[in-house]
Structure 1
Protein backbone atom coordinates (compact mmCIF):
# COMPACT_ATOMS: atom_id res chain seq x y z
CA UNK A 1 0.00 0.00 0.00
CA UNK A 2 2.84 2.39 0.82
CA UNK A 3 4.34 1.67 -2.59
CA UNK A 4 1.28 2.73 -4.55
CA UNK A 5 0.81 5.84 -2.40
CA UNK A 6 4.41 6.86 -3.02
CA UNK A 7 4.03 6.18 -6.74
CA UNK A 8 0.86 8.29 -6.94
CA UNK A 9 2.55 11.16 -5.10
CA UNK A 10 5.52 10.94 -7.46
CA UNK A 11 3.37 10.86 -10.60
CA UNK A 12 1.21 13.74 -9.36
CA UNK A 13 4.34 15.82 -8.73
CA UNK A 14 5.49 15.26 -12.31
CA UNK A 15 2.08 16.06 -13.74
CA UNK A 16 1.60 19.15 -11.57
CA UNK A 17 4.92 20.59 -12.72
CA UNK A 18 4.31 19.92 -16.40
CA UNK A 19 3.33 22.56 -18.94
CA UNK A 20 1.23 19.97 -20.74
CA UNK A 21 -1.18 19.53 -17.83
CA UNK A 22 -1.70 23.24 -17.24
CA UNK A 23 -2.19 23.97 -20.93
CA UNK A 24 -4.68 21.10 -21.20
CA UNK A 25 -6.54 22.33 -18.11
CA UNK A 26 -6.79 25.83 -19.56
CA UNK A 27 -8.15 24.53 -22.86
CA UNK A 28 -10.84 22.39 -21.24
CA UNK A 29 -11.78 24.65 -18.33
CA UNK A 30 -11.65 28.00 -20.14
CA UNK A 31 -11.50 27.72 -23.92
CA UNK A 32 -14.14 25.00 -24.32
CA UNK A 33 -16.87 26.70 -22.21
CA UNK A 34 -16.18 29.99 -24.01
CA UNK A 35 -16.40 28.25 -27.39
CA UNK A 36 -19.69 26.63 -26.36
CA UNK A 37 -21.09 29.99 -25.29
CA UNK A 38 -19.90 31.54 -28.55
CA UNK A 39 -21.63 28.85 -30.59
CA UNK A 40 -24.85 29.43 -28.67
CA UNK A 41 -24.60 33.15 -29.31
CA UNK A 42 -24.03 32.49 -33.01
CA UNK A 43 -26.99 30.10 -33.14
CA UNK A 44 -29.29 32.68 -31.54
CA UNK A 45 -28.13 35.50 -33.81
CA UNK A 46 -29.75 36.61 -37.07
CA UNK A 47 -26.59 35.90 -39.04
CA UNK A 48 -26.64 33.65 -42.10
CA UNK A 49 -22.91 32.98 -41.93
CA UNK A 50 -21.44 29.48 -41.97
CA UNK A 51 -20.68 29.55 -38.24
CA UNK A 52 -24.24 30.50 -37.34
CA UNK A 53 -25.72 27.87 -39.66
CA UNK A 54 -23.46 25.17 -38.26
CA UNK A 55 -24.16 26.25 -34.67
CA UNK A 56 -27.92 25.98 -35.21
CA UNK A 57 -27.56 22.33 -36.21
CA UNK A 58 -25.98 21.67 -32.80
CA UNK A 59 -28.82 23.22 -30.80
CA UNK A 60 -31.16 20.71 -29.16
CA UNK A 61 -34.06 22.20 -27.25
CA UNK A 62 -34.01 25.76 -25.94
CA UNK A 63 -32.68 27.82 -23.05
CA UNK A 64 -30.46 26.02 -20.56
CA UNK A 65 -31.06 22.65 -22.25
CA UNK A 66 -29.69 23.95 -25.53
CA UNK A 67 -26.78 25.59 -23.73
CA UNK A 68 -25.81 22.32 -22.03
CA UNK A 69 -26.39 20.29 -25.21
CA UNK A 70 -24.02 22.45 -27.27
CA UNK A 71 -21.40 22.31 -24.51
CA UNK A 72 -21.71 18.53 -24.41
CA UNK A 73 -21.14 18.21 -28.14
CA UNK A 74 -18.05 20.43 -28.01
CA UNK A 75 -16.72 18.50 -25.02
CA UNK A 76 -17.26 15.14 -26.70
CA UNK A 77 -14.52 16.07 -29.15
CA UNK A 78 -12.33 18.31 -27.00
CA UNK A 79 -12.18 15.83 -24.11
CA UNK A 80 -10.90 13.02 -26.30
CA UNK A 81 -8.23 15.22 -27.89
CA UNK A 82 -7.01 17.10 -24.81
CA UNK A 83 -7.14 14.31 -22.23
CA UNK A 84 -5.83 11.92 -24.85
CA UNK A 85 -2.73 14.07 -25.35
CA UNK A 86 -2.15 14.22 -21.59
CA UNK A 87 -2.54 10.43 -21.35
CA UNK A 88 0.04 9.96 -24.11
CA UNK A 89 2.42 12.33 -22.33
CA UNK A 90 2.04 10.65 -18.93
CA UNK A 91 2.92 7.21 -20.27
CA UNK A 92 5.19 8.13 -23.17
CA UNK A 93 7.42 10.78 -21.62
CA UNK A 94 9.40 8.19 -19.69
CA UNK A 95 10.70 6.82 -22.97
CA UNK A 96 11.01 10.15 -24.79
CA UNK A 97 12.90 11.76 -21.89
CA UNK A 98 14.90 8.56 -21.27
CA UNK A 99 13.80 8.25 -17.63
CA UNK A 100 12.41 4.73 -17.94
CA UNK A 101 15.64 3.22 -16.63
CA UNK A 102 15.47 5.32 -13.47
CA UNK A 103 11.87 4.23 -12.86
CA UNK A 104 12.93 0.61 -13.04
CA UNK A 105 15.35 1.16 -10.18
CA UNK A 106 12.70 2.51 -7.76
CA UNK A 107 11.48 0.48 -4.79
CA UNK A 108 7.93 0.34 -6.18
CA UNK A 109 7.06 -2.17 -8.89
CA UNK A 110 6.58 -1.21 -12.50
CA UNK A 111 2.98 -2.35 -12.30
CA UNK A 112 2.41 0.03 -9.39
CA UNK A 113 3.94 2.87 -11.39
CA UNK A 114 1.54 2.25 -14.29
CA UNK A 115 -1.38 2.00 -11.86
CA UNK A 116 -0.34 5.29 -10.26
CA UNK A 117 -0.25 6.94 -13.67
CA UNK A 118 -3.83 5.85 -14.33
CA UNK A 119 -4.97 7.06 -10.90
CA UNK A 120 -3.39 10.49 -11.42
CA UNK A 121 -4.86 10.74 -14.93
CA UNK A 122 -8.33 9.76 -13.68
CA UNK A 123 -8.31 12.20 -10.75
CA UNK A 124 -7.14 15.07 -12.94
CA UNK A 125 -9.73 14.24 -15.62
CA UNK A 126 -12.57 14.14 -13.06
CA UNK A 127 -11.50 17.42 -11.45
CA UNK A 128 -11.10 19.28 -14.72
CA UNK A 129 -14.44 17.89 -15.96
CA UNK A 130 -16.11 19.26 -12.83
CA UNK A 131 -14.49 22.64 -13.45
CA UNK A 132 -15.78 22.61 -17.04
CA UNK A 133 -19.31 21.86 -15.85
CA UNK A 134 -19.11 24.70 -13.31
CA UNK A 135 -17.75 27.12 -15.92
CA UNK A 136 -20.56 26.14 -18.29
CA UNK A 137 -23.15 26.93 -15.62
CA UNK A 138 -21.52 30.27 -14.77
CA UNK A 139 -21.48 31.36 -18.42
CA UNK A 140 -25.11 30.34 -18.74
CA UNK A 141 -26.07 32.67 -15.89
CA UNK A 142 -25.06 35.61 -18.09
CA UNK A 143 -27.41 34.51 -20.87
CA UNK A 144 -30.45 33.14 -19.03
CA UNK A 145 -32.60 34.26 -16.16
CA UNK A 146 -32.65 32.08 -13.07
CA UNK A 147 -31.35 28.57 -12.49
CA UNK A 148 -32.05 25.58 -14.74
CA UNK A 149 -35.23 23.60 -14.17
CA UNK A 150 -35.15 19.96 -13.11
CA UNK A 151 -35.28 18.61 -16.68
CA UNK A 152 -32.49 21.00 -17.68
CA UNK A 153 -30.31 19.71 -14.83
CA UNK A 154 -30.77 16.26 -16.37
CA UNK A 155 -29.20 17.54 -19.60
CA UNK A 156 -26.27 18.84 -17.54
CA UNK A 157 -25.93 15.42 -15.90
CA UNK A 158 -25.88 13.88 -19.35
CA UNK A 159 -23.10 16.29 -20.32
CA UNK A 160 -21.02 15.28 -17.28
CA UNK A 161 -21.53 11.54 -17.84
CA UNK A 162 -20.71 11.81 -21.53
CA UNK A 163 -17.55 13.75 -20.77
CA UNK A 164 -16.32 11.11 -18.32
CA UNK A 165 -17.12 8.30 -20.76
CA UNK A 166 -15.11 10.10 -23.42
CA UNK A 167 -12.24 10.57 -20.99
CA UNK A 168 -12.26 6.80 -20.35
CA UNK A 169 -11.68 6.26 -24.07
CA UNK A 170 -8.19 7.76 -23.80
CA UNK A 171 -6.81 4.81 -21.79
CA UNK A 172 -5.89 2.67 -24.86
CA UNK A 173 -3.49 5.48 -25.78
CA UNK A 174 -1.49 4.61 -22.65
CA UNK A 175 -0.78 1.17 -24.06
CA UNK A 176 0.05 2.58 -27.50
CA UNK A 177 2.43 5.18 -26.05
CA UNK A 178 4.11 2.51 -23.92
CA UNK A 179 4.59 0.00 -26.72
CA UNK A 180 5.57 2.80 -29.12
CA UNK A 181 8.11 4.07 -26.58
CA UNK A 182 7.00 7.70 -26.73
CA UNK A 183 4.02 10.03 -26.63
CA UNK A 184 4.24 10.98 -30.33
CA UNK A 185 3.16 7.47 -31.28
CA UNK A 186 0.13 7.75 -29.03
CA UNK A 187 -0.79 11.18 -30.40
CA UNK A 188 -0.54 9.87 -33.97
CA UNK A 189 -2.90 7.02 -33.09
CA UNK A 190 -5.23 9.49 -31.35
CA UNK A 191 -5.73 11.47 -34.55
CA UNK A 192 -6.08 8.24 -36.51
CA UNK A 193 -8.90 7.29 -34.12
CA UNK A 194 -10.60 10.64 -34.70
CA UNK A 195 -10.51 10.15 -38.47
CA UNK A 196 -11.71 6.54 -38.14
CA UNK A 197 -14.56 7.67 -35.90
CA UNK A 198 -15.73 10.11 -38.56
CA UNK A 199 -15.64 7.42 -41.23
CA UNK A 200 -17.46 4.86 -39.09
CA UNK A 201 -20.12 7.41 -38.14
CA UNK A 202 -20.71 8.42 -41.74
CA UNK A 203 -21.07 4.74 -42.60
CA UNK A 204 -23.87 4.51 -40.04
CA UNK A 205 -22.02 2.24 -37.61
CA UNK A 206 -21.12 4.87 -35.04
CA UNK A 207 -23.52 3.62 -32.38
CA UNK A 208 -21.50 0.39 -32.06
CA UNK A 209 -18.12 2.12 -32.16
CA UNK A 210 -17.00 3.03 -28.60
CA UNK A 211 -15.31 6.25 -29.73
CA UNK A 212 -18.47 7.49 -31.44
CA UNK A 213 -21.18 6.34 -29.02
CA UNK A 214 -20.74 9.07 -26.33
CA UNK A 215 -20.62 11.84 -28.96
CA UNK A 216 -23.76 10.58 -30.65
CA UNK A 217 -25.48 10.24 -27.27
CA UNK A 218 -24.64 13.88 -26.54
CA UNK A 219 -26.28 14.95 -29.79
CA UNK A 220 -23.40 15.37 -32.22
CA UNK A 221 -25.30 13.34 -34.81
CA UNK A 222 -28.65 14.95 -34.08
CA UNK A 223 -31.52 14.17 -31.67
CA UNK A 224 -32.61 11.04 -33.55
CA UNK A 225 -29.16 9.46 -33.41
CA UNK A 226 -28.90 10.34 -29.71
CA UNK A 227 -32.16 8.56 -28.92
CA UNK A 228 -31.01 5.36 -30.65
CA UNK A 229 -27.96 4.83 -28.41
CA UNK A 230 -28.61 1.87 -26.11
CA UNK A 231 -27.21 1.38 -22.63
CA UNK A 232 -24.87 -1.38 -23.84
CA UNK A 233 -23.49 0.87 -26.57
CA UNK A 234 -23.11 3.75 -24.14
CA UNK A 235 -21.17 1.64 -21.64
CA UNK A 236 -18.84 0.15 -24.26
CA UNK A 237 -16.16 2.80 -23.50
CA UNK A 238 -15.92 1.48 -19.93
CA UNK A 239 -15.29 -2.06 -21.15
CA UNK A 240 -12.66 -0.84 -23.60
CA UNK A 241 -11.04 1.24 -20.86
CA UNK A 242 -10.91 -1.69 -18.43
CA UNK A 243 -9.27 -3.93 -21.03
CA UNK A 244 -6.79 -1.20 -21.99
CA UNK A 245 -5.79 -0.46 -18.40
CA UNK A 246 -5.32 -4.15 -17.61
CA UNK A 247 -3.20 -4.65 -20.72
CA UNK A 248 -1.12 -1.52 -20.02
CA UNK A 249 -0.38 -2.45 -16.41
CA UNK A 250 0.54 -5.98 -17.51
CA UNK A 251 2.84 -4.59 -20.19
CA UNK A 252 4.61 -2.33 -17.71
CA UNK A 253 4.95 -5.23 -15.30
CA UNK A 254 6.33 -7.83 -17.71
CA UNK A 255 7.76 -6.05 -20.74
CA UNK A 256 11.49 -6.25 -21.44
CA UNK A 257 11.42 -2.77 -23.02
CA UNK A 258 13.00 -1.34 -19.84
CA UNK A 259 16.21 -3.20 -20.31
CA UNK A 260 18.78 -1.22 -22.28
Structure 2
Protein backbone atom coordinates (compact mmCIF):
# COMPACT_ATOMS: atom_id res chain seq x y z
CA UNK A 1 0.00 0.00 0.00
CA UNK A 2 1.54 3.31 -1.11
CA UNK A 3 1.06 6.84 0.19
CA UNK A 4 -1.76 7.52 -2.33
CA UNK A 5 -3.73 4.55 -1.03
CA UNK A 6 -3.15 5.66 2.56
CA UNK A 7 -4.36 9.17 1.71
CA UNK A 8 -7.47 7.73 0.11
CA UNK A 9 -8.21 5.67 3.22
CA UNK A 10 -7.67 8.63 5.56
CA UNK A 11 -9.90 10.89 3.47
CA UNK A 12 -12.67 8.31 3.40
CA UNK A 13 -12.47 7.79 7.16
CA UNK A 14 -12.69 11.52 7.84
CA UNK A 15 -15.48 12.33 5.38
CA UNK A 16 -17.58 9.46 6.71
CA UNK A 17 -17.17 10.75 10.24
CA UNK A 18 -19.76 13.05 11.78
CA UNK A 19 -16.93 15.13 13.24
CA UNK A 20 -15.88 16.33 9.80
CA UNK A 21 -19.27 17.89 9.11
CA UNK A 22 -19.78 19.10 12.68
CA UNK A 23 -16.51 21.05 12.52
CA UNK A 24 -17.76 23.01 9.51
CA UNK A 25 -21.17 23.51 11.11
CA UNK A 26 -19.72 24.78 14.39
CA UNK A 27 -17.11 26.98 12.75
CA UNK A 28 -19.75 28.60 10.56
CA UNK A 29 -21.20 30.32 13.62
CA UNK A 30 -17.90 31.98 14.52
CA UNK A 31 -17.50 34.12 11.37
CA UNK A 32 -21.23 34.89 11.34
CA UNK A 33 -21.35 36.09 14.95
CA UNK A 34 -18.03 37.92 14.64
CA UNK A 35 -19.01 39.59 11.38
CA UNK A 36 -22.40 40.70 12.66
CA UNK A 37 -20.83 41.88 15.93
CA UNK A 38 -18.17 43.94 14.14
CA UNK A 39 -20.72 45.66 11.93
CA UNK A 40 -23.30 46.31 14.63
CA UNK A 41 -20.73 47.57 17.15
CA UNK A 42 -19.45 50.24 14.76
CA UNK A 43 -20.19 53.53 16.51
CA UNK A 44 -20.16 55.57 13.34
CA UNK A 45 -22.22 53.14 11.31
CA UNK A 46 -19.91 53.83 8.37
CA UNK A 47 -17.72 50.75 8.55
CA UNK A 48 -16.24 49.74 5.19
CA UNK A 49 -14.67 46.56 3.84
CA UNK A 50 -11.14 47.57 4.87
CA UNK A 51 -12.15 48.13 8.49
CA UNK A 52 -14.39 45.08 8.55
CA UNK A 53 -11.77 42.67 7.16
CA UNK A 54 -9.10 43.94 9.53
CA UNK A 55 -11.28 43.27 12.56
CA UNK A 56 -12.58 39.99 11.15
CA UNK A 57 -9.08 38.65 10.55
CA UNK A 58 -8.01 39.33 14.11
CA UNK A 59 -11.02 37.46 15.45
CA UNK A 60 -10.82 34.57 13.01
CA UNK A 61 -7.14 34.05 13.80
CA UNK A 62 -7.95 33.24 17.42
CA UNK A 63 -10.81 30.99 16.36
CA UNK A 64 -8.70 29.26 13.75
CA UNK A 65 -5.98 28.11 16.14
CA UNK A 66 -8.65 26.30 18.17
CA UNK A 67 -9.99 24.55 15.09
CA UNK A 68 -6.58 23.68 13.67
CA UNK A 69 -5.37 22.19 16.96
CA UNK A 70 -8.56 20.20 17.41
CA UNK A 71 -8.34 18.76 13.90
CA UNK A 72 -4.69 17.75 14.31
CA UNK A 73 -5.46 16.13 17.67
CA UNK A 74 -8.59 14.37 16.47
CA UNK A 75 -7.07 12.81 13.34
CA UNK A 76 -4.43 11.08 15.47
CA UNK A 77 -6.34 10.77 18.74
CA UNK A 78 -9.34 8.99 17.26
CA UNK A 79 -7.16 5.94 16.55
CA UNK A 80 -6.85 5.50 20.32
CA UNK A 81 -10.39 6.39 21.36
CA UNK A 82 -11.84 4.15 18.61
CA UNK A 83 -9.31 1.44 19.58
CA UNK A 84 -8.12 1.05 15.98
CA UNK A 85 -4.46 1.82 16.70
CA UNK A 86 -3.48 -1.85 17.13
CA UNK A 87 -5.10 -2.78 13.82
CA UNK A 88 -3.31 0.09 12.11
CA UNK A 89 0.06 -0.90 13.56
CA UNK A 90 -0.46 -4.53 12.52
CA UNK A 91 -0.83 -3.63 8.84
CA UNK A 92 2.23 -4.16 6.60
CA UNK A 93 2.56 -0.45 6.00
CA UNK A 94 5.56 1.77 6.71
CA UNK A 95 4.79 3.86 9.79
CA UNK A 96 6.16 6.91 8.01
CA UNK A 97 3.45 6.60 5.35
CA UNK A 98 0.75 6.45 8.00
CA UNK A 99 2.02 9.62 9.65
CA UNK A 100 2.59 11.42 6.36
CA UNK A 101 -0.91 10.63 5.10
CA UNK A 102 -2.45 11.90 8.33
CA UNK A 103 -0.39 15.09 8.28
CA UNK A 104 -1.35 15.79 4.66
CA UNK A 105 -5.02 15.23 5.44
CA UNK A 106 -4.75 17.54 8.45
CA UNK A 107 -3.16 20.21 6.26
CA UNK A 108 -5.86 19.91 3.60
CA UNK A 109 -8.67 19.95 6.17
CA UNK A 110 -7.25 23.00 7.95
CA UNK A 111 -6.74 24.93 4.72
CA UNK A 112 -10.29 24.09 3.66
CA UNK A 113 -11.57 25.29 7.04
CA UNK A 114 -9.66 28.56 6.65
CA UNK A 115 -11.13 29.25 3.19
CA UNK A 116 -14.56 28.29 4.50
CA UNK A 117 -14.41 30.76 7.42
CA UNK A 118 -13.10 33.53 5.18
CA UNK A 119 -15.88 32.93 2.66
CA UNK A 120 -18.55 33.08 5.35
CA UNK A 121 -17.03 36.30 6.66
CA UNK A 122 -17.23 37.80 3.17
CA UNK A 123 -20.82 36.65 2.82
CA UNK A 124 -21.79 38.42 6.04
CA UNK A 125 -20.18 41.65 4.83
CA UNK A 126 -21.97 41.31 1.52
CA UNK A 127 -25.36 40.82 3.18
CA UNK A 128 -24.88 44.05 5.14
CA UNK A 129 -23.86 45.90 1.97
CA UNK A 130 -20.54 47.28 3.18
CA UNK A 131 -18.92 49.97 1.06
CA UNK A 132 -15.37 50.11 -0.31
CA UNK A 133 -15.32 46.77 -2.13
CA UNK A 134 -12.44 46.15 -4.50
CA UNK A 135 -11.02 43.00 -6.02
CA UNK A 136 -7.50 43.99 -5.00
CA UNK A 137 -8.55 44.50 -1.38
CA UNK A 138 -10.30 41.13 -1.17
CA UNK A 139 -7.47 39.18 -2.81
CA UNK A 140 -4.83 40.92 -0.71
CA UNK A 141 -6.90 40.22 2.40
CA UNK A 142 -7.41 36.60 1.40
CA UNK A 143 -3.70 36.13 0.71
CA UNK A 144 -2.66 37.53 4.09
CA UNK A 145 -5.28 35.49 5.92
CA UNK A 146 -4.22 32.31 4.09
CA UNK A 147 -0.55 32.81 4.98
CA UNK A 148 -1.52 33.51 8.59
CA UNK A 149 -3.60 30.33 8.66
CA UNK A 150 -0.68 28.28 7.32
CA UNK A 151 1.57 29.74 10.03
CA UNK A 152 -0.98 28.76 12.67
CA UNK A 153 -1.20 25.27 11.18
CA UNK A 154 2.58 24.93 11.54
CA UNK A 155 2.29 25.92 15.20
CA UNK A 156 -0.34 23.25 15.90
CA UNK A 157 1.86 20.25 15.09
CA UNK A 158 2.76 19.79 18.80
CA UNK A 159 -0.97 19.13 19.30
CA UNK A 160 -0.68 16.11 17.00
CA UNK A 161 2.34 14.85 18.96
CA UNK A 162 0.52 15.34 22.27
CA UNK A 163 -2.47 13.38 20.95
CA UNK A 164 -0.18 10.42 20.30
CA UNK A 165 1.73 10.68 23.56
CA UNK A 166 -1.45 11.04 25.63
CA UNK A 167 -3.27 8.46 23.47
CA UNK A 168 -6.32 10.62 22.91
CA UNK A 169 -7.41 14.14 22.11
CA UNK A 170 -8.39 15.41 25.57
CA UNK A 171 -4.87 16.56 26.43
CA UNK A 172 -4.53 18.60 23.20
CA UNK A 173 -7.87 20.24 24.00
CA UNK A 174 -6.38 21.28 27.33
CA UNK A 175 -3.36 22.58 25.40
CA UNK A 176 -5.68 24.87 23.46
CA UNK A 177 -6.80 26.55 26.69
CA UNK A 178 -3.19 27.01 27.79
CA UNK A 179 -2.28 28.45 24.38
CA UNK A 180 -5.15 30.95 24.47
CA UNK A 181 -4.22 32.14 27.98
CA UNK A 182 -0.50 32.38 27.29
CA UNK A 183 -1.08 34.07 23.94
CA UNK A 184 -2.96 36.87 25.65
CA UNK A 185 -0.28 37.24 28.33
CA UNK A 186 2.60 37.19 25.84
CA UNK A 187 0.92 39.77 23.61
CA UNK A 188 0.33 42.04 26.61
CA UNK A 189 3.97 41.75 27.73
CA UNK A 190 5.26 42.46 24.23
CA UNK A 191 6.62 38.97 23.59
CA UNK A 192 4.23 38.13 20.75
CA UNK A 193 7.10 37.84 18.17
CA UNK A 194 8.74 35.14 20.33
CA UNK A 195 5.80 32.90 21.26
CA UNK A 196 4.98 30.34 18.53
CA UNK A 197 1.22 30.73 18.79
CA UNK A 198 1.24 34.53 18.62
CA UNK A 199 3.79 34.84 15.83
CA UNK A 200 1.14 34.27 13.09
CA UNK A 201 -0.88 37.15 14.55
CA UNK A 202 2.20 39.34 14.31
CA UNK A 203 2.41 38.56 10.61
CA UNK A 204 -1.30 39.25 10.21
CA UNK A 205 -0.97 42.72 11.69
CA UNK A 206 2.39 43.71 10.18
CA UNK A 207 2.67 41.66 7.00
CA UNK A 208 6.19 40.46 7.86
CA UNK A 209 8.21 38.53 10.43
CA UNK A 210 11.72 38.95 11.76
CA UNK A 211 14.26 36.14 11.51
CA UNK A 212 13.96 35.11 15.16
CA UNK A 213 10.19 34.68 14.82
CA UNK A 214 10.61 32.55 11.69
CA UNK A 215 13.18 30.34 13.43
CA UNK A 216 11.01 29.91 16.54
CA UNK A 217 7.90 29.05 14.54
CA UNK A 218 9.75 26.70 12.18
CA UNK A 219 11.43 24.94 15.12
CA UNK A 220 8.06 24.43 16.80
CA UNK A 221 6.53 22.96 13.67
CA UNK A 222 9.50 20.71 12.97
CA UNK A 223 9.61 19.51 16.57
CA UNK A 224 5.96 18.50 16.42
CA UNK A 225 6.34 16.71 13.08
CA UNK A 226 9.60 14.95 13.90
CA UNK A 227 8.31 13.98 17.33
CA UNK A 228 5.21 12.45 15.77
CA UNK A 229 7.28 10.45 13.28
CA UNK A 230 9.55 9.23 16.08
CA UNK A 231 6.61 8.24 18.27
CA UNK A 232 5.09 6.16 15.50
CA UNK A 233 8.48 4.62 14.73
CA UNK A 234 8.50 3.12 18.23
CA UNK A 235 4.73 2.93 18.70
CA UNK A 236 4.67 -0.75 19.57
CA UNK A 237 6.93 -0.05 22.50
CA UNK A 238 4.73 2.72 23.89
TM bin (shorter chain): 0.7 to 0.9
Asked whether the 8 Å contact 1:7–1:108 carries over to 2, the reply is no
CA offsets, 1:85-131, max 9 Å, x none?
12111111112222111001112122211111101111111122222
1:189 maps to 175
Kept in 1: contact 2:76–2:164 (CA 8 A): yes
Distance verdict in 2 for CA 1:190–1:145, change over 3 Å: closer
Change in Cα spacing, 1:66 to 1:230, as seen in structure 2 (3 Å) is farther
Matched, 1:252 2:238: no
Residue number among 117, 126, 136 corresponding to 2:102 in the alignment:
117
Task: Report the Cα distance in structure 2 between the residues aligned to 1:253 and 1:228, rounded to whole angstroms.
Answer: 37
Indicate if the aligned counterparts of 1:210 and 1:234 stay in contact, CA closer than 8 A: no
Q: Secondary structure at the match of 1:114?
A: helix
Which blocks of at least 5 consecutive residues in structure 1 are unaligned?
Answer: 48-60, 220-225
> C-alpha deviations, 1:61-87, integer Å up to 9, x for none?
952111211221111111111121121
What is the TM-score normalised by the length of structure 1? 0.81
Deviates further, 127-136 or 81-90: 127-136
1:78 aligns with 2:77: no
How well do the aligned residues superpose, as a CA RMSD in angstroms? 2.5
Q: CA deviation at 1:134?
A: 2.4
TM-score by length of 2: 0.87
Check the 8 A contact 2:49/2:125 in 1, yes or no. yes
**Is the alpha carbon distance of 1:148 and 1:232 closer, same or farther for their aligned partners in structure 2, counting shifts above 3 Å?**
farther
Q: Which runs of 5+ in 2 are unaligned?
A: none
User: Per-residue CA shift, 1:143-190, capped at 9, x if unaligned?
Assistant: 224732535542332222212211222111110110111111221222
In the TM superposition, 1:169-184 aligns within 5 A as: 169-184=155-170
Cα shift readout 1:220-240 (whole Å, capped 9, x = no counterpart): xxxxxx478536525743442
Partner of 1:58: none
- Native 8 Å contact 2:71 2:110 kept in 1: no
Matching residue within 36, 41, 45 for 2:34: 36
